[in-house]
Amino acid sequence: MTQRIRQNRDGERDDLEHALKHDELAPEDWDELRIIMEILEPFREWTQRLQKKHANGCISDILPALDELLTHLEQAKVQYGSMTGSHVLTMMNNGWAVLHKFVFPSHDLNHLR
C-alpha cells in the first residue's frame, strides 16, 4: 500500500496521518463555518418541510420556498458582502444565481426570442 505524503509547516515531508494530527482550524475558519451554517439553515428548514408526507411537490408548495430562500440570500449578501477573500460570498452568489434562474426562468429564455 502506498503511503500518502505531504509537506508539513516546516517543509519536511510527512505522512498524512501524522500531518492531520497537527491540522486545525483557525478562529477565522470557525467564524466562517458559523456564517455558512447560518446561511444554510433556511435551506435545511425548507428541505424538511417539503419532505413531509403531506407535501406533494406542487409548484404552489415550492415557489414560496424559492422566494424565501432567494430573499434570504439577498439579505445575506448585504450582511456578509464585505467578507473579502472568503468563500462565503462566492457561495451566496452561486446559490442566488441558481435560485434566481428557477424563480425567473423567462430571463434566461430571452436569447430564444
Please tell me the pTM assigned to this model: 0.68
Q: DSSP assignment, residue 11? A: S
Is 10 a member of any domain? Answer: no
The confidence score (pLDDT) of residue 71 equals 93
Is 83 a member of any domain? Answer: yes
Q: Which residues contact 61 (CB under 8 A, 6 or more apart)?
A: 50, 55
**Average pLDDT taken over every residue of the chain:** 79
Helix, strand, coil proportions of the chain in percent (round to 5)?
70, 5, 25
Is 107 a member of any domain? Answer: yes
Tell me the residue range of the domain where 33 lies. 25-112
Other Cβ atoms within 10 Å of 87 Cβ, number? 10
Is 45 a member of any domain? Answer: yes
Q: What percent of the chain has pLDDT over 90?
A: 27
Is 102 a member of any domain? Answer: yes
Per-residue pLDDT reduced to its tens digit, 65-89: 999 999 999 999 999 888 767 788 8
Tally of domains within the chain: 1
CA distance 19 to 13: 9
Is 54 a member of any domain? Answer: yes
Is 8 a member of any domain? Answer: no
